Structure 1
Amino acid sequence: MPSMFPVLDMPQRLLMGAGPCNVHPRVLRAMACDVIGQMDPEMTACMDETAELYRQVFCTKNRHTLLVDGTARAAIEAALVSLVTPGMKVLVLRIGRFGLLLTEIVERAGGIVCPVDVPWGEVVQVENVKAAIEEHEPSLLVTVHGDTSTTTAQPLQAIGELCKEHGILFYVDATATLGGMPLLVDAWNIDVATGGLQKCLGGPPGSAPITMSERAVKAIMARRHDEAGIRGTAPQGDGPVIRSNYFDLAMIINYWSAERINHHTEATSMLYAAREAAQIALEEGLDARFLRHRKAGAAVAAGIRAMGLEVYGDDALRMSNVTGVWVPEGCDANRVRTLLRTEFEIEIVSSFGPLTGKIWRIGAMGVNAAKHKILLTLAAFEAVLAGENVPVVRGAGIDAARAAWEAQQ
């Protein structure tokens, strides 16, 4: 009997949006390794190796550094449902769409959200954080490091110092920046940080690194429940039971510990991918990797401006790996994206909320934070815009991008 669908053969597209990016070939090869049992000594050794690699990626000595099986949002949700107790005051810094996501998850976990909002394209100033802490006296502060919806990066170091001073737990969603911008978990007093593979780490979506301080783990374990609790008898510990089973970090920590208390079947191929992505990042060197992403961001911005277009936002606040471009008046933003995809096999994206249809976002991260891929993208972008009768300076973008790449130190 013939199959209902043709053999799967996805296009070889250059992913220059806000993520995912193209996957490093070594990561794809790692994913092809044989699946073995989750309690096989070779498998548990791979888990231990992966944990050690991510300690280095997160710049931490945290013992509890591991993976949550699922996309980056899985680790975000695991962190928040495990930290937030009903009625807890949580200060949420909101610099874009993903700050609003943190708000929703905190509310679903029963927390009381104390928001600190800024106009999209801005970040929260440390004096406003200090004032909000004094006003609300929260137990937890949560923020996104780099919000791809607005292409802005929230400074973290001074906020970490405030949290330490006031005894507040500090959670950071570093999905879009881990492996591409500095994230010094220990030095910045971050208690919990989460990431994803599909952005600067150059892996596929589906595995989410997380690191937790001893202070955070103590708070999580205070809510711990064992098998008796799951069966409906009294939960163990002083606090309320964590509302999720799959995202219960107390249970996942025990799964990754020497005791290997079974929780779920580890996503074997994604573990291989995560291990290889971290290995590649550390072989390159974090400082060299951060520089490469800065070069990429500078090249994109310079090329866009030389073309005669306007870059969205403030250069001082922009993420290294995602650049916003204002859509010129009268230009059909979706048609430009479609032509880039259908004629050049290049993907760029729009944004969300108040920026929907108003900006394009061009990402250069992971293996795509490369000069030749940026030049190809800018050349194609220029050709499409010119074909749509948008006035651009032909050839200037390529020259400016090449110069900007070389100028970054």
Structure 2
Amino acid sequence: MSLDPLLFGEIDPPQRLLMGPGPVNAHPRVLRAMSADLLGQFDPEMTGYMNQVVALYRPIFGTANRWTMLIDGTARAAIEAALVSLVAPGETVLVVNFGRFGLLLTEILGRIGARIESIEAPWGETVPLDAIAAAIARTAPKVVATIHGDTSTTMAQPLDGLGDLCHAAGALLYVDATATLGGMEIAADRWGADIVTGGLQKCLGGPSGSAPITISDAAAEHIFTRRHTEAGIRTGRTVDGNGPRIGSNYFDLAMIMDYWSEKRLNHHTEATSMLYAARECARVALGEGLEARYARHAAAGRAVTAGLRAMGLTVFGDDRFRMTNVTGVYIPEGVDGERVRAAMRDHFEIEIGTAFGPLAGRIWRIGAMGYNAMKHKVLITLGALEACLRAEGFSLPPGEAVSAALEAWEA
């Protein structure tokens, strides 16, 4: 039997510039960290690195929470761990939904068996705080769940004051900050968020596969009190000590928290290389300085938006609530959006994003985040998009996009 020689060749992916909504190109320091030697999960050097990760991610989350750690898995693993550990079947959860990833929260909660209520905004807008307050009063939820920045719509939900509303009603607040952690301010303590989760593959400039999470004392108490231990043997978390177990072992936060605590109770084999990556992502971010990093992402977002408008294109969504790191833009009438994306890849080795749901085939999504939120990468992307649009017969003023982006970057 002959075997395809490609199966035995060294992996050699194209050197693409990833300027979509994520993932993005990883920082070289992160890739180097991932090549370090492996350690046993209870080696004191390894547990020391785990403790360092806890300390490094507290300022990135804007928190003093003791329970700040990593979930082994993609960003969605942390989302599921948070929801499956907070919510029991039949409990009411209010989802603040303004895009594709609000719908993801709903889908996960449906699998848990939660009673789901939602307050929604049209795609391209966000949900006003007074509307959320009214929904909380109407539904009396145990948990309120929302996205911070939803890359499907490129909108960022304002969160100041939301935690106060939740806590006054006896609810916990969960926030998915996958798309904004490390690129826009995350203020878990100021927001009153009880659990915030993220991922490495966007503004933190790392690979997908490790998900930072922070958990308030109130949420930790809620999680631990729902875990049942019988005869000194962990049997899984239960409702009020005698109900059904949590539906997942791997994503049971009570067990993962024991693993990250001083007790170091075995739960899983730590994804060592991914922990190295997460540690280095945080070191890069804090070394740059968070305010400087947020300003760099804001400059990149301004430049992308200005360049697109200088081409005569229409930017999607409400400018007041636009994420700094992802910009949606309408595909011009008569232009084949997928042909342009293919040309960007084939001729320039640049990837920009397509869209979901009601926006599929209507907008492109251009990201400038993490290691790619750099002036030259934004300018190269805009220049390439201009060339590909002109090749499709779209008339636009030559060179104006780059000039406008340069001016906006310095604004």
TM-score if structure 1 supplies the norm length? 0.97
What is the match of residue 92 of structure 1? 95
What is the match of residue 295 of structure 1? 299
Runs ≥4 residues deviating over 3 A: 1-4, 225-240
Matched, 1:316 2:320: yes
Partners of 1:77 and 1:38 in 2: CA distance: 24
Partners of 1:225 and 1:247 in 2: CA distance: 16
Matched, 1:404 2:408: yes
Superposition CA RMSD, Å: 1.7
Deviation, structure 1 residue 168: 1.2
Partners of 2:241 and 2:32 in 1: CA distance: 44
Deviation, structure 1 residue 118: 1.2
Partners of 2:33 and 2:229 in 1: CA distance: 35
Deviation, structure 1 residue 238: 5.8
Deviation, structure 1 residue 233: 12
Please list every run of 5 or more consecutive structure 2 residues that lacks an aligned counterpart in the other structure. Answer: none
Partners of 1:397 and 1:364 in 2: CA distance: 16
Deviation, structure 1 residue 230: 6.2
Deviation, structure 1 residue 279: 0.7
Matched, 1:350 2:354: yes
Deviation, structure 1 residue 234: 8.7
What is the match of residue 341 of structure 1? 345
What is the match of residue 183 of structure 2? 180
Matched, 1:365 2:375: no
Deviation, structure 1 residue 225: 3.7
**Deviation string, structure 1 residues 264-286 (Cα, Å, up to 9, x no partner):** 00000000000000011011111
Identify which range, 235-244 or 20-29, moves more after superposition: 235-244
Deviation, structure 1 residue 367: 0.7
Deviation, structure 1 residue 304: 0.3
**Contact 1:97 1:353 (8 Å CA) reproduced:** yes
The SS at the match of 1:187 is: helix
The residue type paired with residue 152 of structure 1 is M
Deviation, structure 1 residue 223: 1.7
What is the match of residue 274 of structure 1? 278
**Contact 2:229 2:236 (8 Å CA) reproduced:** no
Please list every run of 5 or more consecutive structure 1 residues that lacks an aligned counterpart in the other structure. Answer: none
The percent of aligned pairs where both chains have the same amino acid is: 60
**Deviation string, structure 1 residues 106-162 (Cα, Å, up to 9, x no partner):** 111111110111111110001110110111111110000000000000000121221
Deviation, structure 1 residue 236: 8.4
**Alignment counterpart, residue 204 of structure 1, candidates 182, 207, 213:** 207
Q: Report 1:130-149 matches (<5 A).
A: 130-149=133-152
**Alignment counterpart, residue 30 of structure 1, candidates 33, 36, 44:** 33
Deviation, structure 1 residue 18: 0.1
What is the match of residue 43 of structure 2? 40
Aligned residues: 407
What is the match of residue 290 of structure 2? 286
The residue type paired with residue 35 of structure 2 is A
Identify which range, 308-317 or 296-305, moves more after superposition: 308-317
Change in 2 beyond 3 A, CA 1:234/1:320: closer
Deviation, structure 1 residue 164: 2.4
Q: Report 1:50-129 matches (<5 A).
A: 50-129=53-132
The SS at the match of 1:186 is: helix
